[in-house]
A and B are shown apart, each in its own frame.
Chain A
Amino acid sequence: MTDSAQREGREEESRRGPGHWAKQVFLRLGVLPLFLIGALVIFTWLSENFLTQRNLLNVVRQSSYLVLVSVGQMFALLTGGFDLSVGTIVAVTSVVGALAMAALHAALPEATFLVITLGCLAGIAAGGLIGAINGLGVALFRVSPFMMTLGMASVGFGIALFLTGGVPVYGMPFAFSDAFGFGSLLGIPSPVFVAILLIVFLYFLVSRTATGRYFYAVGANIQAAELSGVPSRRILFLAYLFCGLIAAIAGMLLTARLETGEANIGSSLALESIAACVIAGVSLRGGVGRLENVVLGALFIGLLSNGMNLAQIQSYLQTVVVGVLLIVAVIADQYRLRLMAADRA
Chain B
Amino acid sequence: MHAPDEGSIELRGEEVRLHSVHDAREHGISAVFQEFSLVEELTIEENLFLGNELKRGPFLDRKAARRRARELLESLEFPLRPERKVKTLTRAEKQMVEIAKGFRSRVSVLILDEPTASLTERETESLFALVRKLQAKGAGILYITHRMAEIREIGDRVTVLRDGRKIETVDAGSTSEEELVRLMTGRVIDQIFPSIEFSPGAEVLRVEGLTTRSGHVREASLEVHAGEIVGLAGLVGSGKSELLRACYGLDGIASGRVVFLGEEVNGQSPRRMIRRGFFYGPPDRRAEGLLMNRSVRENILLPAIGTAAYRRGGFLRTGKERDTAAELAARLQLQPPRIERPVSQFSGGNQQKVLLAKSLTRDFRLFVFDEPTVGVDVGTRTEIYRFLAELCEEGAAVVVISSDLPEVLHLSRRAYVLYRGEIKAHLVGEEITQENVLQHFFEREVA
Q: Which residues of A contact B (CB under 8 A)?
A: 2, 204, 208-210, 213, 216-217, 220-221, 223-231, 283, 287-288, 341, 344
Contact = CB atoms under 8 A, between A and B. Distances in A.
Contacts of A224: 282, 287-291, 302
A311 B189 CA distance: 73
Contact of A228 (B292, B293, B302, B314): B302
B92 to A, nearest CB: 20
Interface stretch (B154-162, B210-218, B268-276, B432-440): B268-276
B271 A231 contact: yes
B359 to A, nearest CB: 11
A283 B314 contact: no
A226 B316 CA distance: 20
Contacts of B345: 341, 344
Overall SS of chain A's interface: helix
B143 interface: no
B388 to A, nearest CB: 19
Contacts of B274: 228-229
**What 7 A-B pairs are tightest by C-beta distance, nearest first?**
A220-B291, A229-B274, A210-B305, A228-B302, A229-B271, A223-B288, A208-B315
Contact of A225 (B250, B291, B310): B291
Contact of B287 (A208, A223, A344): A223
Interface of B: 250, 270-271, 274-275, 280, 282, 287-294, 298, 302-303, 305-306, 310-311, 314-316, 318, 336, 338, 345, 358
B316 A213 contact: yes
B294 A229 contact: no
Nearest to A213: B305
A229 B270 contact: yes
A210 B345 CA distance: 24
B282 A227 contact: yes
A297 B345 CA distance: 28
Given A224-B288, A229-B306, A208 B293 contact: no
Nearest to B289: A224
A210 B291 contact: no
B315 A216 contact: no
Given A208-B316, A224-B289, 4 more contacts: A210-B305, A213-B302, A213-B316, A229-B271
Contacts of A225: 291, 302
B293 A229 contact: no
Contacts of B290: 221, 224
Contacts of A227: 250, 270, 280, 282, 288-289
B294 A220 contact: yes
Contact of B294 (A204, A216, A226, A230): A216
B236 to A, nearest CB: 20
Nearest to A204: B315
A288 B293 contact: yes
Contact of B318 (A208, A217, A229, A283): A208
Contacts of B310: 210
A5 to B, nearest CB: 11
User: Which among B274, B288, B291, B303 has the highest number of chain A CB atoms within 10 Å?
Assistant: B291
Contact of A213 (B275, B298, B314, B338): B298
Nearest to B301: A213
Contacts of A230: 271, 302, 306
Contact of A229 (B250, B275, B311, B336): B275
A221 B293 CA distance: 9
19 contacts: A2-B336, A2-B338, A210-B306, A210-B316, A216-B291, A220-B293, A221-B288, A221-B292, A223-B287, A223-B288, A224-B288, A225-B302, A226-B270, A227-B250, A227-B288, A228-B303, A229-B275, A229-B302, A344-B345
B361 to A, nearest CB: 10
Interface centre among A2, A216, A225, A283 (most CB of B within 10 A): A216
A235 to B, nearest CB: 11
A231 B249 CA distance: 14
A335 B292 CA distance: 19
A252 B316 CA distance: 32
Contacts of B288: 221, 223-224, 227
Contacts of A220: 291-294
Contacts of A231: 271
B256 to A, nearest CB: 22
B379 to A, nearest CB: 21
Most chain B beta carbons < 10 A, residue from A209, A221, A230, A288: A221
A121 to B, nearest CB: 25
B298 A217 contact: yes
B5 to A, nearest CB: 8
